[in-house]
Amino acid sequence: MSSIEDVANVPKLMAVALAAAFYGLGSGYWLFLPMAGKLKHRSEEELFVKEIIIRGVLLLQSGSTPSVVEANLKAYLEPSKRLSVKKEAKPAPEAAPGGAPGAGTGAA
């Protein structure tokens, strides 16, 4: 407002201010609050995954056996998923005939 005599514009300006306040509240509650909840959930999931990774690495560094590492990491799974995880034994990779140069010669 430029002067006190500009009273005729007060209702118009108040309507604009009220509309802006409603748009701000609406966008806050219907747009930004759900987004904040989703971001918080994703952040918690990411921290959980990193915690599991750190736990596994620490177990490997301490020299734990693979079965102990597996048992400790399965403890993070839900009980219903623990039973469905099947242990898949992978065969050791065999060297192909004529493998890499210097393979099996003991040369470093």
Could you give the C-alpha distances from 23 to 16, 20, 31, 36, 73, in angstroms and in order?
Answer: 10, 5, 11, 18, 48
Report pLDDT digits (tens) over 50-104: 999 999 999 999 999 988 998 898 888 887 777 777 654 455 566 556 655 555 5
Is residue 18 within 8 Å of 25, Cβ to Cβ? Answer: no
Is residue 56 within 8 Å of 69, Cβ to Cβ? Answer: yes
Could you give the C-alpha distances from 65 to 52, 53, 77, in angstroms and in order?
Answer: 17, 16, 19
Report pLDDT digits (tens) over 14-46: 999 999 999 999 888 898 899 999 999 999 999
What is the model's pLDDT at position 89?
41
* Assessment of whether the complete model's pTM goes beyond 0.75: no
Is residue 39 within 8 Å of 29, Cβ to Cβ? Answer: no
Give the start-to-end residue ranges of the domains of the chain: 9-82
